[in-house]
Amino acid sequence: MHEYSSKTRAQRGQAPPITQDNIMAWVPLVVAGGCWLASKLFGSDDSDPNPTYAAIEARKLAEEERDRAIRDLDARFAAENAARLATEESKKNAREAEAERQRTQAALEEARRAAEAFKQDAERLQRAAEEEKKKSDEAVAEAEAARKAAENDAREATAAKEDAEGRLREGIQPVITPTPQEILAAQARIQYQENLFHFAVAGRAGGGKSSLVNAFRGMSNRAAGSARTGVTETTRTVGRYPDPDERCQHVWYDLPGAGTIRIPDWQYFNAQGLYVFDCIVVLFDNRFTHTDIAILLNCRRFKIPTYIVRSKADQHIRNIMKEMGYESDDENVNRSQRSALYMAAREQLVDETRRNVKANLAEANLPDQKVYVVSSSCLRVVAKGEQPSRVIDEIQLLNDLYTEAQARRVRHESGGIST
């Protein structure tokens, strides 16, 4: 590399750079040149008058020339070395400057990233503060709306209370809507199942509800598993009685009677949870009362099918026959006369019953509906699949009830009834 550089400089007429090696190479040459010059100037020549002095002078000149050459070389070497050191120092300074520039650039970049992160944090905090403010404003608005709603509810409750108190003073019964929790609790209480049809027999105390439930199931009042019956009100809790025929997906419920000290008339529908049954048989004995009307009104509110039934038809017919002059131990009355009296009493009972119920329904602004006049003994025979000797509405009642249950099952299977 140095040889190539020297040749290149020689070719271009430039002096090679002075280095320490070059200087040491030049020293012998300079010394030899001085000695040669001294020999020429002060050599043995017969014509020189004082050769010793001349030789000494020549030697001195040579030494001076040598010293001057050495000094020049030292100066040149010092200059070259100073230039080299200056170049190295410059390069070192340049490297340090570059490193410092890079450190400064890294610090600036770090500062920029920190500033950007700070800016993002500030924006995030600003958004969070705005969101919190928005939530706070919404909470304040909701609280204000809730306060106004509470005040409105309080006013409505006060008005409802005053209205209810006024209606109670006038003899008008209040309307109470059960909550969803109360509906679920009532369903759990009666063991409600979606795949079954739940018939409830309701009405005033002493109307023969337990006997009618037994008759619907084709059972006598003394049969095992039958509903308990008696002269006084014996049902104090809801009785659940599955149909003896496992093919019939029916469940019959014997409800406590209304109009007792335990269950006032106006509380009867909600107290017994009638709003969860699929069908309600409204049973009465002698008179169609406000309790029966209240049950029908509430059933209409809840869209529950209802069937109005007058029980103990056989007893009522015998009483009417006695009023007509019939005595069961009268030997002068033959079978045909008895049959005629029976038909007349039967017709009178059915006619009076239906006219009375129709009038009561119209007075309560309820639509007219069929009234079934039945006796439990005859209904029990029909439920067992046998043919009784005297039938009023027992066959039609069972057919209509089962048709209602079948229609509901079809609606349920087709998705018409929500569970």
**pTM of this prediction exceeds 0.75:** no
Give me the pLDDT at residue 410, please. 74
Q: Which of 73-87, 154-168, 193-207, 380-394 has the lowest mean pLDDT?
A: 154-168
Q: Can you give the C-alpha Rg of the chain in angstroms?
A: 63
What are 34-55's pLDDT values in tens digits?
A: 555 555 555 544 445 555 787 8
**Are 244 and 217 in contact, with CB atoms under 8 Å apart?**
yes
Confidence bin at 356 (pLDDT 50/70/90) = very high
Classify burial at 345, counting beta carbons within 10 Å of its beta carbon; exposed 0-12, middle 13-18, buried 19 or more. Answer: buried
Which of 56-70, 304-318, 325-339, 404-418 has the highest average model confidence (pLDDT)? 304-318
Confidence bin at 174 (pLDDT 50/70/90) = low
Confidence bin at 401 (pLDDT 50/70/90) = very high
Q: pLDDT > 90: what percent of the chain?
A: 25
Q: What's the angle, vertex CA 77, arms to CA 74 and CA 78, rounded to 5?
A: 85
Distance from chain centroid for Cα 299: 33
pLDDT at 11 over 70: no
As given in the structure block, the two tokens for residue 9 are 């400089």
Confidence bin at 245 (pLDDT 50/70/90) = confident
Confidence bin at 241 (pLDDT 50/70/90) = very high
pLDDT at 280 over 90: yes
pLDDT at 217 over 50: yes
pLDDT at 418 over 90: no
Give me the pLDDT at residue 205, please. 80
The phi-psi region of residue 273 (left if phi > 0; otherwise alpha if psi is between -120 and 50; otherwise beta) is left
pLDDT at 288 over 50: yes
**Are 373 and 350 in contact, with CB atoms under 8 Å apart?**
yes
Give me the pLDDT at residue 187, please. 92
Length of the chain: 419
What are 118-161's pLDDT values in tens digits?
A: 889 888 888 898 988 888 888 899 888 988 888 888 888 777 65
Question: Minimal CA–CA distance to 262: which of 241, 290, 233, 298?
Answer: 233
**Are 324 and 349 in contact, with CB atoms under 8 Å apart?**
no
**Are 315 and 288 in contact, with CB atoms under 8 Å apart?**
no
pLDDT at 215 over 70: yes
